[in-house]
Amino acid sequence: QVQLVESGGGVVQPGRSLRLSCAASGFSFSNNAMHWVRQPPGKGLEWVAIIWSDGSKKYYTDSVKGRFTISRDNSENTLYLQMDSLRVEDTAVYHCARGVAVTGNPNFFDPWGQGTLVTVSS
Amino acid sequence: EIVLTQSPATLSLSPGERATLSCRASQSVRGYLAWYQQKPGQAPRLLIYDVSDRATGIPARFSGSGSGTDFSLTISSLEPEDFAVYYCQQRYSWPLTFGGGTKVEIK
């Protein structure tokens, strides 16, 4: 079955870096756009970034532009999120999700991984 | 940025009752709206996409409707497993945005 498993979360000090990974299985990873979506503890959902299936296009939410980089390795069926200059407000569970759509940009999310918790604290 | 406002924040109902959740967009999102369900400790799950199309495996008691800026998710008869938080999401424009969520709780 389709499965997404995130890893790489942890506790990090403000200003430091962290790299998240998302291992995909059960579907043709190289043919699908992928997203990161985050959820601060006890709060709602916030879309973070998308990468097209071939890596040719990437978009970010404004609050992470210039600090976060989304990338992928289609030979390893793995999605990444490099997070630099981390801030306290980046504290959240980070989910990876496959992008889907019948027409247009693949910007609905199905399925989602369970997520990995990133805590930014001094 | 398109802001999605969900109401009510909390809906207290009994099993078997009908639930109607609202999502209002700050500008038209045309037909590019989805609904997700999230249970405690779990990842969100896609329920409805493109306003009214049920995702694979979603029961027929879930239905979506609306257009332009006003949308709704209806659960025709609440089952015990339906008590959860529901989010709407638009894909009409960047950045992709979610509503703040509606919690459906047992009365």
Residue A33 DSSP SS3 = coil
* Residue of A95, A108, A110, A116 to mutate, testing the B interface (most B Cβ within 10 Å of its Cβ): A108
Q: Return all residues near A91 (Cβ < 8 A) that are at least 6 apart.
A: A40, A41, A118, A119, A120, A121
Angstrom distance (rounded) from CA B27 to CA B40: 31
pLDDT at B78: 98
- Mean of the pLDDT values across residues B12-29? 98
pLDDT at A104: 82
Which residues, given as ranges, of chain A have pLDDT below 70? none
> What percentage of residues in chain B have a pLDDT greater than 90?
100
DSSP for residue A55 = S
pLDDT at A105: 86
* Residue of A60, A62, A95, A110 to mutate, testing the B interface (most B Cβ within 10 Å of its Cβ): A110
> What percentage of residues in chain B have a pLDDT greater than 70?
100
